[in-house]
Amino acid sequence: MVATPEKPLQDSASISAFGQARSTVEERPLSAEAVDKIQRFWDACNYLAVGMIYLRDNPLLREPLQPDHIKRRLLGHWGSSPGLSFIWTHLNRVIRQRDLNMIYIAGPGHGAPGFLGPSYLEGTYSEFYPDKSEDIEGMQKFFKEFSFPGGIGSHCTPETPGSIHEGGELGYALSHAYGAAYDNPDLIVAAVVGDGESETGPLATSWHSNKFINPIRDGAVLPILHLNGYKINNPTIPARISHEELESLFVGYGYTPYFVEGSDLESMHQAMAATLDRCIDQIQSFQQKARSTGQAFRPRWPMIVLRTPKGWTAPAEIDGRKIEGSWRAHQVPMADVLKNEDHFRLLEQWMRSYKPEELFDENGKLIAELRELAPVGDRRMSANPHANGGELRKDLRLPDFRDYKVDVPEPGQVEVENTRPLGVFLRDVMKHNPNNFRVFSPDENSSNKLSPIYEESKKFWIAEYFPEDSDGGELAPDGRVMEMLSEHTLEGWFEGYILTGRHGFFSTYESFVHIIDSMVNQHCKWLSICNNISWREDIASLNLLITSTVWRQDHNGFTHQDPGFLDVVVNKSPSVTRIYLPPDVNTLLSVANHCLRSTNYVNVIVSDKQLHLQYMDMDEAVIHCTKGLGIWDWASTDRGSEPDVVMACAGDIPTLEALAATVLLREEFPDIKIRFINIVDLFKLQPDTEHPHGLSDRDFDSLFTVDKPVIFNFHGYPWLIHRLAYRRHNHENMHVRGYKEKGNINTPLELAINNQIDRFSLAMDVIDRVPRLQVIGAHAKERFRNQQIECRQYAYEYGVDAPGILDWKWPYARQMKSPAVSKDDAHE
C-alpha cells in the first residue's frame, strides 16, 4: 500500500508526535510537585528561546509589547529548541539525584536557543559574560545579542558555555560524543541527534561507535534521537517509517532503544523521567559489572527515541495553517510581526502563555525554587570542565624524538621508509601516555608503516573474534589504536577526544583525506573563534599525517592521486593552520615532535610511506625544521656568487627529482651556479604580514633573489605556490611544477614525467629560463628529452623504472657540515 496525504498508512497514529505519552518504560517516578517544577523550569527555557528570537527590549514583558521592543531582523530557529531544553531539564534532574558528571551535545544545527536558555537559567552564562547578568538588564542584553550583529550565532558556537559541538554542519554529534567519552570513565555524554541530522552519511556511520566503548576505562554515551518530524520544509525519513522498522534499525545497530513519544505535558514528563532513570541504571550496571570483574564486554547500550512536535508549545495554528508539529515551526514561526498586527498580538499572547511573571523574581532572576532544579558548580552541563577541555589538558610526556633518528653520514645515500621510525616514536608516546593519547586511522596504520604502535597498544576491538584474529590481527578490547573504515567517524572521535582535553594523531591516505575536508574546515573555524574567547583554554592540536601520497600511487592509479587537501587548509585562518612537508625521516620526527607539543592548531604533515633517500642527520634536521626552509649547501654551487637559477622544492619526491635535475645540469654545465632551497614549512612562502610563519620580504628576497629564475618543484597543485607567493618581488620569475591531474597506473618516474616534475623536465626548464644556457643548451636539452623517452619506454616494457632511476643516489660528497645542535626542537 502506498501512503498519500489523503490516505495515510493505517499505523500513522503510532508515529504521531501528538497525544498522551507512549513510552517503553511505563513507571511514573515524579510527584505532582516535581512535575510542576520541571514544567515551569522548561517554561522558562522556552520563554527565553522565544525572547532570543524576537526581543531586543522589554525582556520580561513588564509593560505591553510594543513594536520598538522587536528586533528589526528576525533570525534564529525555534523548531528544535523546545525539545532540546526539555531534554536538558530532565537531564538536570538525574544529574542532581545521582551526582552525575555529564556534558550535552546538541546535534540539531540551529538549536542554540534550547541550549543557551538553560545555560542562562543555571547562572553559567552570566558567570562567563557578566554583562548578561541575571536581572532585567542582563536578560535584555542576552536577548538582543542573539543572532544580532556583534552578538552570538544561532548554533552552539565556541562562545556558548558547555559546548564542544557547534552543530552548524550536521552529522558529527555522535562521533564527537564518543570521542569525548573515551578514557573518561566517569563521564556520560548526552548526545542529541536531530532527525534531519540522522539522514547524513557521517551520522549514519557513527551509530557503530557503540562497538568502540570499553566499559572498564571509557565513559558512556546516551544517544537521544530527537524526532520532531521535519527538516526545513520536508519530513524526515526516520519520523515517517513504521515504529517497528525504526526500532529494528537501532536494535540492528546494537542498542536497546527506549521510546518516549507524544505531546501531553504531564505524561511526557513522567515518561521522560522514567526512561532516563532506566537508561542511567543500565549504563551504571554495565560499567559496574565490567569494572568489578575486570572483563570488558560489549553491552547493548541504551538509547532514547524522543518523538515530540516540531516547535512544541508554539501556537498550534496561524492563519489556518499548522505551526506546532509542522515544518513551518522550523525557523521563525511569525517573521512578519512588525507588519501584521494580528501576528504581533499573537506573539505577545504566545510569550505570556509561559507566565514569565511567575518564573522570574522582581529583579528578573529565576525564582529560587526553580533554580534549585539545576545542578551546581561543575556539575552544571553548561559549566562542566570537559566542555572546556583545555582546563583538563595535560602536556604529553614525550620521549626524545632524537632517539629515533636515522643515521645519515652523507646526504642522498641511504633509503628508509619515512613513516616507519615515526611509528616507533608514536609507540613510545602511547607508552608514556596510556590514558590521554590515541592514534586514529581508517584501517591504514599498517599500510602507512606505523605498525610499530601495535607493540604498545593494539587496535580496539570488542565485537566478536575468530581464531585467525590471533595471527597478526592486532586486536584487543583494551587497545587504544582506533581503526574504522570511516574517515568521518574517526575525525569526529579525534575532535571529541581533544576538545575534552586529550591528545591524538590521525593518519590517512592523501587522496581520501578530502572526505573530511569539511570537518577540518569546521574545526579550524572553532579554533579561530576560541582564540578570541578569554575563557576558552588551549586544547591539543589536531595532528594529521597525510601519507600514501600522490607520487607513489603505482598500483592504485588516478583515483588515488589528489594532493588538494593542502589547498583546503590554506583557505583557513593563518592563526590556526600549519602545513609541513618533511623530505626525510629526521625532519619528519622533528616536525611530529613539534606538532604533538603544540596547541590550538590544525597541523598537516605530508610524508610518504615508501622508501626514500635520506638527506639530513638529526642536528641538521632540527635546524632546518626550526627555520622552516633553507639553502642546502651540499646541493648548491653558488657559494660566494650570484646564482644562475634557484631550484626550490617541497615534498619528498619533488625534492628527489629536483636534486637529480641539478646533477644533470652540473654534468652538462660544470660552471652553472645553482642555489638549492628546500621548504618544510609551506607557510614560510607567505609574507610575514599574512601568516605568523611567513618570511619577511627582505629574507625572502635574500633567498630567492629579486630577478633570477626560480624553478619550484612542488608536491601539490602548482597554483597553490602562486597563491602563497603572489605578492613576492620575484614572483614573475617563479615557475612552479606540481601535480596537474595527469595520472594512471604509472611508475613513480613516469607519473612525474606526465606532470613535468621529473628531473629531465626540470633540467630542460632551467635551460629555457637561464639566458646564457638558452644559447648553448640545445644539445643538452635534446639528450634530456631522449633520456625521458627512454625511461618511459622502459617503464612500459618492464613495469618498473629503469636502473639508474630506481637506485639513483646523490653523487657528490658533502663539502661542509652544519654545526651540532644540543638545544630542544625550536620550531615556532
Please name which of 244, 203, 208, 242 lies closest in space to residue 225, comparing C-alpha atoms. Answer: 203
Angle at 86 between CA 83 and CA 87, to 5 degrees: 90
Write down the pLDDT at residue 821. 46
Angle at 79 between CA 73 and CA 85, to 5 degrees: 110
Write down the pLDDT at residue 204. 95
Structure confidence by residue, pLDDT tens digits, 284-332: 999 999 999 999 999 999 999 999 999 999 999 999 999 888 888 788 8
Write down the pLDDT at residue 561. 82
Res 202 pLDDT > 70? yes
- Answer yes or no: are the C-beta atoms of 181 and 213 closer than 8 Å: yes
185 CB-near residues (< 8 Å, 6+ apart)? 216, 217, 218, 219, 287, 291
Res 574 pLDDT > 70? yes
Sign of CA dihedral 25, 30, 32, 36: negative
What mean pLDDT is predicted for residues 448-470?
95
Structure confidence by residue, pLDDT tens digits, 635-688: 999 999 999 999 999 999 999 999 999 999 999 999 999 999 999 999 999 999
- Answer yes or no: are the C-beta atoms of 223 and 255 closer than 8 Å: yes
Res 3 pLDDT > 60? no
CA distance readout (Å), 515 to 253, 518, 524, 814: 23, 8, 16, 43
pLDDT band at 822 (very low <50, low <70, confident <90, very high): very low
Write down the pLDDT at residue 8. 56
Rounded to 10 degrees, what is the CA torsion of 403, 409, 412, 414?
-60
- Angle of helix 81-98 versus helix 112-121 axis, rounded to 10: 40
The residues that bridge with 611 in the sheet, in sequence order, are 417
CA distance readout (Å), 423 to 133, 450, 586, 602: 51, 4, 13, 20
Write down the pLDDT at residue 1. 47
- Answer yes or no: are the C-beta atoms of 533 and 159 closer than 8 Å: yes
Q: Is 511 helix (H, G, I), strand (E, B) or coil?
A: helix
Write down the pLDDT at residue 826. 46
Q: Is 540 helix (H, G, I), strand (E, B) or coil?
A: strand
pLDDT band at 491 (very low <50, low <70, confident <90, very high): very high
Percent of the chain with pLDDT over 70: 97
Distance of CA 801 to the CA centre of its chain: 39
Write down the pLDDT at residue 508. 95
Write the DSSP symbol of residue 235.
Answer: B
What mean pLDDT is predicted for residues 574-584?
98
- Name the phi and psi angles at 820, rounded to 5: -65, 155
The total number of residues shown for the chain amounts to 828
What mean pLDDT is predicted for residues 27-33?
97
pLDDT band at 790 (very low <50, low <70, confident <90, very high): very high
What mean pLDDT is predicted for residues 741-746?
87
What mean pLDDT is predicted for residues 534-558?
90
Write down the pLDDT at residue 805. 93
Structure confidence by residue, pLDDT tens digits, 110-143: 889 999 999 999 999 999 999 999 999 999 999 9
Res 527 pLDDT > 50? yes
What mean pLDDT is predicted for residues 44-72?
96
Write down the pLDDT at residue 443. 85
Dist CA 163 CA 382 (whole Å): 7
Res 102 pLDDT > 90? yes
Distance of CA 385 to the CA centre of its chain: 20
Amino acid at 225: L
The DSSP code sequence of 72-89 is: SS-----TTHHHHHHHHH
The residues that bridge with 737 in the sheet, in sequence order, are 713
Res 10 pLDDT > 70? no
Res 772 pLDDT > 90? yes
Write down the pLDDT at residue 6. 58
Cell of 437: 593519547
Write down the pLDDT at residue 828. 45
What mean pLDDT is predicted for residues 361-385?
97
Q: In this structure, are strands 415-417 and 611-613 parallel, antiparallel, or unpaired?
A: antiparallel
Res 815 pLDDT > 90? no
- Name the phi and psi angles at 773, rounded to 5: -80, -25
Distance of CA 636 to the CA centre of its chain: 41
